[in-house]
A = this chain, B = another copy of it.
Amino acid sequence: MTVNASAKSSPSIRDVAKLARVSHQTVSRVLNDHPYIRPATRERVLAAMAELNYRPNRAARTLATSRSHTIGVLLTASASHYGPASTIAAVEEAARDRGYSVVLASPGRVEVAEFSDALDHLIREGVDGIIAVAPQIRAAAAVAKLHNPVPVVMIQCDSGDPRLSVDNRVGGKLAAEHLWRLGHRRLAHVSGPGDWSEATARRHGFEEALADVGSGPVAIAEGDWSAESGYRAFEHLRDSGCTAVFCANDQMALGLIHAAHDDGRRVPRDLSIIGFDDTPEAAHYLPPLTTIRQDFHMVGRRAVDSLLSALDGTPKHGRSIHPKLVVRDSTSAPA
């Protein structure tokens, strides 16, 4: 008397084969949509699968094919920032559509060591490819240096591939042009951290646009993306005589508005402020924030496309993603 196999762990391809009275290989073929299966046979196999509640074992397939159908996402400490969070949601969705799973790794701090640990973790995990949300220049460099056994796509780091990142330079330009057109001539900037490529791209775009009209920023303060740092940045701008400020993200703009307010200046009457990102809250700041909108969701989808096509060897093309100016009440003509 043998113990019923189904009483033990989950059924295997052989159990299904036995029930459908075919060979295990035929079951495998049904599983993989191979041609040359008689419809009647396929039916029998499918029925057997259903009856046994069969679920293919990913590990076994991975072992045999050495393709895990898994992509790793490397996420820096900024996980709770609005941008990255919405990007990875898009990544997961796009990946699952294509039959891929997403495994996560988030290095605690922005240290090269932590970074390579996290990468290593993903590679050990057997991912087929990696999407690195590596907005810090150092981080991107670290990733690029480690020569990885799998393809790596870097996003939010102005990686050179214009499809994979909102064009931050253009965004900076839009901000400068908007303020200039309103009549402002003394413009300041609160930038993101110097080692974030998005921050430098936004800044450069801003400076270039000013240079084009023969001007330049009267002051630049560096923040760390947080509202708190935007608040503190005001110190550095107070005596610059600026009438308008471009903040590299919405949170810092919020902090700056707060500081300006504490200093007795009204926005936009005494000081125009423009942000970047267009977070869902920006429309409800006081005053509602003029900002540059970017499409994080698109970035995530594009990243998956790009990675999977690198895996399949079928290169894909697409246009770069342009940010958009959204005018609200925090900017106006100077008094």
Contacts and interface: CB of A to CB of B under 8 A. Distances in A.
Interface of A: 9-10, 55-60, 62-63, 66, 68, 70, 73, 75, 77, 79-82, 85-86, 88-89, 92-93, 96, 101-106, 108, 121, 123-126, 149, 226-228, 230-231, 251, 254-255, 257-258, 261, 280-281, 283-286, 288
Contacts of A85: 79-81, 85
B284 A103 contact: no
14 contacts: A55-B123, A58-B125, A59-B126, A80-B85, A92-B106, A93-B106, A101-B104, A101-B105, A102-B104, A228-B284, A230-B284, A231-B284, A258-B288, A285-B286
A89 B96 contact: no
A68 B125 CA distance: 10
Given A227-B280, A284-B228, A80 B89 contact: yes
Nearest to A257: B286
B75 A79 contact: no
B230 A258 contact: no
A121 B104 contact: no
Nearest to A82: B80
Number of copies: 2
Nearest to A255: B284
A266 to B, nearest CB: 11
A120 to B, nearest CB: 8
The 3 closest A-B pairs by CB, nearest first: A79-B89, A59-B62, A85-B85
A226 B280 contact: yes
Contacts of A81: 85
Given A102-B105, A258-B284, 17 more contacts: A58-B124, A60-B63, A70-B125, A79-B86, A81-B85, A82-B82, A85-B85, A92-B104, A101-B104, A101-B121, A101-B125, A103-B103, A227-B280, A227-B281, A231-B284, A251-B280, A286-B286
B101 A103 contact: yes
A104 B102 CA distance: 6
A89 B66 CA distance: 29
A68 B59 contact: yes
A111 B81 CA distance: 26
A251 B123 CA distance: 38
A261 B280 contact: no
Contacts of A62: 59
A146 to B, nearest CB: 12
A9 B79 CA distance: 34
A227 B283 contact: yes
A188 to B, nearest CB: 18
A86 B80 contact: yes
Contacts of A255: 284
Contacts of A63: 57, 59-60, 63
**Which has the most chain B C-beta neighbours within 10 Å: A58, A93, A123?**
A58
Contacts of A228: 280, 283-284
